[in-house]
Homo-oligomer: A and B are copies of this chain.
Amino acid sequence: MSCTSFSFPSWLQNLPLVEAVALELPPPHLNDNTADWDRFVQALAGRGFSPIHVEPAFLGSFTQAIRRGELAVTAVLGWRGTAWEMLELLPGLHRGQPFRVLGASVDVGTTSLVFTVVDMVEGRILAETAVQNPQVPLGEDILTRILLARRETERSRLQHLLIEVFNDTFEDLSRRHGFSLQSLFALTVAGNTTMTHFLLGLDPTHICREPYIPAVNRFPVYHARDLDLALPPLALVHVFPNVGSYFGGDLIAGIVAAGMHRSKDICLLVDVGTNAEVVLGNREWLIACAGAAGPALEGGVVERGMMAAPGAIDRVRIDLDTLEPTYHVIGGERPKGLCGSGLIDLVAEMFAAGILTPQGKIDTSLPSPRILLNGADGTLYVVTSADETADGLDLCISDIDIGIFLKSKAAMYTILSVITRKVGVSFEELQRICIAGTFGNHIDAAMAVRIGMIPDLPLEVYEGVGNTAGQGAAMLLLDRSLLRDMGEICDRITYVELNVNMELMNEFRGALFLPHTDRRLFPSVRLRGETATS
């Protein structure tokens, strides 16, 4: 719950996606016999709300509200992008408590969902929570779920699991934070392409087959009732559009959150999830690519790797003389494993201390009891001994682990290198590099530079921006002008498929070293014993 906290950027306009308007209609008389509804629509136009869209099935009850309120009514209007929709019409004038206009946003990730509830009148976050994706038991990785979804019953089951957890979470948040679900008039959803398809009950089958085609990239505006959500039936559901199978609405939301599309300066946004997704550009142009760089960086794959959760070592320092490590554990518990940032720290510090060679091998000639030669796993470095860990086993990192990790870090550097070269921008021209995700919040840029994972730039260029998908989705609730931005981003972004070619392979091979075979790329990084002038 704590990790998703964020504040809204200052450039956000105060243009809520949903607005409540209390108004008294001028009374009809013989010379002004406009119909009730038409009179009301005219009054709304006078307040700047035009055109008005109304769901026909609700017209009868809405017109009765006008009479019940004796021509004094409170309208709840939601912005659809081209028209205002009448979401609710209450008799009488309502301003302030207990009448509230709230919205919710959800970042639908493969492994977890992050919910934010926003007060659209006060422009502030009311509640936040993260829950596990209920589909995980059906398939840890997304491919398993896509294959499962080929059967319509399973696809429907995968959808209902999500809808159920949405409803349960809304219910839970409403109880804990004292608001009514009937106040939630809008929902914004940012997810990767596959998760979005699952949520909307769309067939994701072709997403994972060449040429990798989603069913839908740009979604219509849904109503809560279309998805069986336990919100007001007409509550608007805006789903962030995809650009392609490997570039989903979560990244569009990320671009929005980082404000890249409105920035004069060239920005780079890096989101490390199952894939590493990278967007480069500014208000004039945007280019994006994705590549398999993620698992090791997120703490997966590596033997003792884990998510950034209680029990994970997220900070490591190694004494250059004694080669003894000190570390920090999330939640202050006994250590269970290493999360992404812990792993980066560990490798960077092992390299700085000379425990690791530029080739990524543990130097067995060093006199340390922590360096062990072990048949099966190759050479090991003991980070924590068995008597300190949660499971009573040594917490080690092996040559093999480091090899896997270096592939991930090399992939990351290669992606950044390739995408900047595609558009002829040098790393030095990047004024801002945003690192998104939990990973981005924990990573120590100095350490990541030291291992050659990210370019050797002034550290102030790097910014951990947190869960940008969730932020972008929440921002849309407060600034409806972003709805147009989302569409424009999709229109002008260029998605680059990273084909495995010789150039990429050469680039990658150089980046497998610590920090790189081409030392000129990392002037600030020195090997142990080198002097500042080398």
Q: How far is the CA of A210 from the CA of B29 in the complex (A)?
A: 8
**Shortest beta-carbon distance, A420 to chain B, in Å?**
22
Interface residue A214 (Cβ < 8 Å from any Cβ of B): yes
A245–B33 contact, CB under 8 A?
Answer: yes
Interface residue A500 (Cβ < 8 Å from any Cβ of B): no
B30–A211 contact, CB under 8 A?
Answer: yes
Interface residue A527 (Cβ < 8 Å from any Cβ of B): no
B63–A216 contact, CB under 8 A?
Answer: yes
Nearest B-chain residue to A38, judged by Cβ: B217
Interface residue A309 (Cβ < 8 Å from any Cβ of B): no
- Indicate with 1 or 0, residue by residue over A209-227, a CB within 8 angstroms of chain B CB atoms: 0111111111111110010
* B contact residues around A211 at 8 Å (CB): 28-30, 32-33
B216–A30 contact, CB under 8 A?
Answer: no
* B contact residues around A203 at 8 Å (CB): 60, 63-64, 67
What is the total number of copies of this protein in its complex? 2
B55, B60, B245: the one contacting A201 at CB < 8 Å is: B60
Nearest B-chain residue to A53, judged by Cβ: B220
Q: How far is the CA of A33 from the CA of B496 in the complex (A)?
A: 11
* B contact residues around A37 at 8 Å (CB): 215-218
- Indicate with 1 or 0, residue by residue over A88-114, a CB within 8 angstroms of chain B CB atoms: 000000000000000000000000000
A57–B226 contact, CB under 8 A?
Answer: yes
B56, B212, B244: the one contacting A220 at CB < 8 Å is: B56
Q: How far is the CA of A202 from the CA of B34 in the complex (A)?
A: 16
Chain A interface: which size bin? Answer: 35 or more
Q: How far is the CA of A211 from the CA of B71 in the complex (A)?
A: 14
Given A30-B211, A202-B59: A35 in contact with B217 (beta carbons within 8 A) = yes
Q: How far is the CA of A54 from the CA of B200 in the complex (A)?
A: 14
* B contact residues around A384 at 8 Å (CB): none
A216–B36 contact, CB under 8 A?
Answer: yes
* B contact residues around A495 at 8 Å (CB): 33
Interface residue A432 (Cβ < 8 Å from any Cβ of B): no
Q: How far is the CA of A63 from the CA of B201 in the complex (A)?
A: 11
Q: How far is the CA of A242 from the CA of B37 in the complex (A)?
A: 12
* B contact residues around A214 at 8 Å (CB): 35-36
* B contact residues around A221 at 8 Å (CB): 56
Contacts of A440-498 to chain B: CB distance below 8 A: 495, 497
Given A67-B203, A206-B67: A220 in contact with B59 (beta carbons within 8 A) = yes
B30, B213, B245: the one contacting A497 at CB < 8 Å is: B30
Q: How far is the CA of A67 from the CA of B207 in the complex (A)?
A: 13
B28, B56, B202: the one contacting A213 at CB < 8 Å is: B28
Add 6 more A-B contacts to A35-B216, A35-B218 (CB < 8 A). A36-B214, A53-B220, A55-B220, A60-B215, A64-B203, A67-B203
23 contacts between A and B (CB under 8 A): A28-B213, A29-B211, A30-B210, A33-B245, A35-B213, A35-B215, A35-B216, A35-B217, A35-B218, A35-B244, A36-B213, A36-B214, A36-B215, A37-B218, A41-B218, A55-B220, A56-B200, A56-B219, A56-B221, A56-B223, A60-B200, A60-B201, A64-B203
